[in-house]
């Protein structure tokens, strides 16, 4: 079973993920967009770059009313990115299988801290999702599946690093594979499409001389 | 484009569904793909903030359009539709969402400024209205205004006869001629019906200022209306027709510039949407009156003397700041004639809407919501303790006055052009002294 998970199923997940993400982005772009023919007041390129960068941070006017979500959102995303790119096994994996080069991994204490922050963030976001009237209204099964699959991959990943028992690494990889397969069909796609959505809003706003 | 001379909307679900499908461009597809259902846009919308009703969450107003996108453009959506797991778009969606699409959205675009994945929600609601109006689901007042705009040239049914009577009055008051149908003038001035009927002081102020600046300008007796009901209701065909009427007289009168009046959505219509509606760039420069005044002032073509020491603040029309980047111009102008200009906490690109944009002002059944939304403005004004509120949009002015009256507040609303005209140096005939 573990041979299947580490072999053919891994390859399958990689293919679905890659083809799915590329296909999904292609489908978005194929929807077409009519050119803005109004005389420009500013630069669309500066606007696009600016908005992609600026939306990493909340507008100061909105911080007070969205404090809980903003903090939980940062916790989850920063913690997750730290784990993804700086956990020792991941650095090793990226070096050996993908990039051919690596970088220093984070120490064990930083791993624990990142994992705790990411877990707390994910749980807080999910609790808000099920408790806040707005997110309750907006939430679909997809949002829950995405959260649970991410949670599963993170839990098994942490346990695997503690090497509680040998099968955990395989279980973690299975979790990651399921996440990869589900990814292109879900709103996890925002990890890629946010460039498009922020970029196109920023480009249009930039042409209009608006700092969006 | 064939000329439209009448507007008779009918209930036609198939047509609406088809038009809605055609609204999905890659901006919309990327927005729906990116939305993480975080709900942060809710707190940006005056209607949610003041009612606490989650249905007023901006992205939720887009459920019908999202349904179309999901079922036509996503793997699981297509599959679920094919297997009968999800229901296809139905007339019920139009019925259930009509109030969200028209009553609780002023197209102010404040939500578009805060979404973490960058979704321009107002852009999508504008598009969604195309489907709703094609299906015949729009407020009666907006349908009526659109019909009047198409058939008479004015959403309020204001005729040239009514305007020319105002012009005669203004000429007597100012002692200056109001140029009409002057071929070869530099600028074509446009007006909104609301200004003609409710705030004619804008026209006299414009006359006095442009006279002092030595600007050659003209009104057109054929087309004088700047507002565009087609954009508000979401009917691009009507919107294009109304825009083409303006472009036609601009061409006939051989002007090179068009002045948008003190009206936010008229500015968006002529400045930003006109070329896209007719499918080619327009050969005219379009400026909002505030941009023109700022330009004339900086070039030394108009000068003012003295300042009001009355404490006042400025309400940014959403279309100017969030759709046109006109943020600094009104402030430069205000500072030149007011010594105690104070800002509301949330101003400029993050201003709160008056509550009546996007056709909400014309929509009777939305009046309760509109007044609820005004509470934000009330708090902002109370916080500053001002009794004078300046703005640069007749529609905002009307709605603000409605809210002020409803709340029995002691606040006067003044148009920026009017304020500048009051401090002209040398003063022209007909000057008044209401804020000093
Ligand atoms: S803020 Fe943006 S991502 Fe969040 S729910 Fe609203 S539209 Fe979706
Ligand atoms: S455009 Fe303005 S009124 Fe409409 S949903 Fe967004 S914030 Fe609310």
**Statement to judge: residues B334 and B370 lie in one domain:** yes
Over residues A119-155, the pLDDT tens digits come to 999 999 999 999 999 999 999 999 999 999 999 999 9
**Statement to judge: residues B262 and B367 lie in one domain:** no
b/e map B341-364, b = 16+ CB within 10 Å? beebebbbbbbbbbbbbbbbbbbe
**Statement to judge: residues B323 and B280 lie in one domain:** no
B381 touches B389 (CB < 8 A)? yes
Q: Would the CB atoms of A210 and B322 count as touching at under 8 Å?
A: yes
* B36 part of a folded domain: yes
CA distance linking residue A192 with residue B305, whole number of Å: 56
* B389 part of a folded domain: yes
Q: Would the CB atoms of A28 and B33 count as touching at under 8 Å?
A: yes
Q: How confident is residue B1, by pLDDT bands cut at 50, 70 and 90?
A: very low
Q: What is the CATH number of the domain that holds B334?
A: 3.40.50
**Statement to judge: residues B416 and B383 lie in one domain:** yes
Chain B nearest CA to A14, separation (Å): 18
**Statement to judge: residues B132 and B165 lie in one domain:** no
**Statement to judge: residues B291 and B382 lie in one domain:** no
Say which of A134, A135, A201 has its CB closest to residue B120: A201
Residues with CB under 6 A from ligand 2: B 44-45, 47, 58, 61, 105-111, 121-122, 125, 353
Q: Which of B163-172, B345-354, B418-427 bottoms out in mean pLDDT, i.e. has the lowest?
A: B418-427
Q: How confident is residue B306, by pLDDT bands cut at 50, 70 and 90?
A: very high
Mean pLDDT, all residues of chain B: 95
**Statement to judge: residues B100 and B181 lie in one domain:** no
Positive or negative CA dihedral for B375, B380, B386, B389?
negative
Domain count, chain B: 3
Q: Does B141 have pLDDT greater than 90?
A: yes
**Statement to judge: residues B276 and B237 lie in one domain:** yes
Chain A nearest CA to B125, separation (Å): 14
Q: What is the mean pLDDT of residues B283-296?
A: 98
User: Which residue's CA is minimally distant from atom 2 of ligand 1?
Assistant: B115
* B428 part of a folded domain: no
Q: Which of B271, B298, B325 is the last residue of a domain?
A: B298
Per-residue pLDDT of chain A (212 residues; tens, 9 = 90+): 788 988 899 999 999 999 999 999 999 999 999 999 999 999 999 999 999 999 999 999 999 999 999 999 999 999 999 999 999 999 999 999 889 999 999 999 999 999 999 999 999 999 999 999 999 999 999 999 999 999 999 999 988 877 666 788 899 999 999 999 999 999 999 999 999 999 999 999 999 999 99
Structural domain boundaries enclosing B171? 153-298
User: Which residue's CA is minimally distant from atom 4 of ligand 1?
Assistant: B38
* B8 part of a folded domain: no
The first and second tokens of residue B191, run together, are 């007006």
Instruction: For chain B, positions 146-165, list CB contacts with chain A under 8 A.
Output: none
Nearest chain B residue to A24 by CA distance is B74
**What are the Cα distances from residue B86, in Å, to A11, B17, B83?**
32, 16, 8
Chain B positions touching A24 (Cβ under 8 A) are: 33
Q: Would the CB atoms of B40 and A66 count as touching at under 8 Å?
A: yes
Over residues B248-274, the pLDDT tens digits come to 999 999 999 999 999 999 999 999 999
**Statement to judge: residues B250 and B180 lie in one domain:** yes
Neighbours of A204 (CB within 10 A): 24
* B427 part of a folded domain: no
Task: For B362-385, give the DSSP string.
Answer: G-GGGHHHHHHHHHHHHHHHHHHT
Q: How confident is residue B75, by pLDDT bands cut at 50, 70 and 90?
A: confident
**What are the Cα distances from residue B43, in Å, to A69, B98, B351?**
12, 21, 13
Instruction: For chain A, positions 70-129, list CB contacts with chain B under 8 A.
Output: 73, 129
* B143 part of a folded domain: no
* B199 part of a folded domain: yes
B34 touches A187 (CB < 8 A)? yes
Over residues A106-122, the pLDDT tens digits come to 999 999 999 999 999 99
Q: What is the mean pLDDT of residues B200-221?
A: 96
Q: Specify the pLDDT at position A165.
A: 65
**Statement to judge: residues B165 and B76 lie in one domain:** no
CA distance linking residue B147 with residue B219, whole number of Å: 23
Q: What is the CATH number of the domain that holds B26?
A: 1.10.1060
Q: Specify the pLDDT at position B425.
A: 87
Evaluate the omega torsion of the peptide bond into residue B426 and state whether it is cis, within 30 degrees of 0.
Answer: yes
**Statement to judge: residues B184 and B286 lie in one domain:** yes
CA distance linking residue A8 with residue A14, whole number of Å: 10
**What are the Cα distances from residue A47, in Å, to A43, A71, A203, B108, B406?**
6, 26, 5, 20, 40
Q: Which of B110, B138, B166 is the last residue of a domain?
A: B138
**B42 C-alpha vs ligand 1 centroid, how far in Å?**
8
**Statement to judge: residues B414 and B286 lie in one domain:** no
Q: Which of B86, B113, B138 is the last residue of a domain?
A: B138
Q: Which ligand is nearest to the CA of B104?
A: 2
Q: Specify the pLDDT at position B428.
A: 56
- Output DSSP code: residue A38: S
* B390 part of a folded domain: yes
- From B33, B53, B34, B37, select the one nearest B45 (Cα to Cα): B53
User: Which residue's CA is minimally distant from atom 6 of ligand 1?
Assistant: B41
Over residues B146-195, the pLDDT tens digits come to 999 999 999 999 999 999 999 999 999 999 999 999 999 999 999 999 99
The first and second tokens of residue B406, run together, are 């409803």
């Amino acid at each position: 079973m573990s041979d299947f998970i580490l072999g053919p199923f891994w390859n399958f997940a990689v293919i679905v993920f890659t083809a799915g993400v590329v296909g999904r982005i292609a489908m978005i772009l194929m929807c077409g967009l009519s050119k803005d023919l109004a005389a420009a007041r500013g630069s669309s390129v500066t606007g696009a770059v600016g908005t992609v960068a600026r939306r990493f941070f909340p507008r100061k006017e909105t911080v007070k009313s969205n404090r809980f979500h903003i903090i939980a959102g940062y916790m989850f995303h920063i913690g997750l990115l730290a784990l993804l790119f700086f956990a020792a096994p991941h650095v090793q994996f990226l070096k050996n299988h993908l990039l051919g080069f690596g970088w220093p991994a984070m120490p064990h204490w930083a791993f624990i801290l990142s994992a705790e922050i990411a877990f707390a963030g994910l749980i807080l976001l999910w609790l808000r999702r099920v408790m806040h009237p707005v997110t309750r209204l907006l939430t679909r099964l997809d949002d829950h599946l995405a959260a649970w699959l991410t949670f599963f991959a993170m839990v098994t990943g942490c346990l695997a690093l503690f090497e509680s028992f040998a099968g955990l690494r395989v279980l973690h990889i299975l979790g990651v594979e399921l996440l990869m397969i589900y990814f292109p069909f879900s709103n996890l796609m925002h990890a890629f499409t946010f460039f498009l959505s922020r970029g196109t809003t920023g480009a249009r706003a930039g042409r209009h001389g608006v700092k969006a | 484009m064939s000329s439209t001379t009448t507007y008779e909307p009918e209930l036609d679900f198939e047509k609406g569904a088809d038009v809605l499908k055609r609204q999905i461009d890659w901006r919309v597809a990327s927005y729906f793909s990116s939305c993480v259902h975080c709900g942060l846009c809710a707190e940006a919308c005056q209607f949610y903030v003041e009612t606490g009703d989650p249905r007023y969450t901006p992205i939720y107003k887009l459920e019908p359009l999202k349904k179309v996108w999901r079922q036509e453009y996503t793997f699981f959506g297509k599959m679920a539709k094919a297997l009968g797991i999800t229901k296809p778009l139905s007339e019920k969606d139009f019925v259930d969402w009509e109030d969200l699409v028209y009553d609780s959205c002023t197209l102010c675009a404040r939500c578009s400024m805060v979404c973490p994945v960058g979704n321009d929600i107002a852009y999508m609601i504008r598009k969604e209205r195309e489907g709703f109006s094609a299906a015949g689901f729009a407020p009666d007042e907006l349908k009526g205004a659109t019909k009047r705009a198409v058939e008479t040239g004015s959403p309020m049914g204001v005729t040239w006869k009514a305007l020319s009577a105002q012009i005669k009055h203004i000429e007597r008051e100012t002692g200056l001629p109001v140029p009409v149908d002057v071929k070869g003038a530099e600028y074509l001035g446009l007006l909104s019906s609301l200004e003609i009927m409710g705030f004619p002081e804008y026209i006299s102020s414009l006359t006095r200022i442009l006279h002092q600046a030595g600007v050659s300008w003209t009104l057109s007796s054929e087309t004088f209306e700047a507002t565009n009901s087609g954009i508000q209701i979401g009917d691009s065909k009507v919107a294009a027709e109304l825009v083409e009427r303006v472009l036609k007289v601009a061409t006939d009168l051989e002007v090179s510039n068009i002045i948008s009046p003190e009206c936010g959505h008229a500015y968006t219509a002529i400045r930003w949407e006109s070329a896209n509606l007719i499918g080619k760039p327009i050969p005219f420069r379009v400026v909002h009156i505030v941009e023109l005044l700022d330009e004339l002032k900086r070039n030394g073509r108009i000068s003012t003397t003295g300042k009001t020491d009355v404490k006042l603040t400025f309400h940014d029309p959403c279309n100017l700041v969030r759709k046109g980047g006109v943020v600094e111009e009104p402030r430069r102008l205000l500072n030149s004639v007011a010594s105690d200009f104070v800002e509301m906490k949330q101003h400029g690109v993050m201003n709160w809407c008056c509550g009546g944009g996007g056709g909400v002002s014309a929509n009777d059944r939305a009046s309760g919501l509109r007044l609820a939304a005004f509470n934000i403005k009330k708090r902002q004004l109370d916080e500053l303790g001002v009794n004078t509120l300046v703005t640069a949009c007749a529609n905002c002015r009307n709605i603000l006055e409605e809210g002020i009256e409803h709340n029995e507040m002691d606040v006067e609303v003044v148009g920026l052009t009017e304020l500048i005209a009051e401090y002209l140096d040398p003063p022209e005939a007909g000057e008044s002294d209401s804020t000093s």
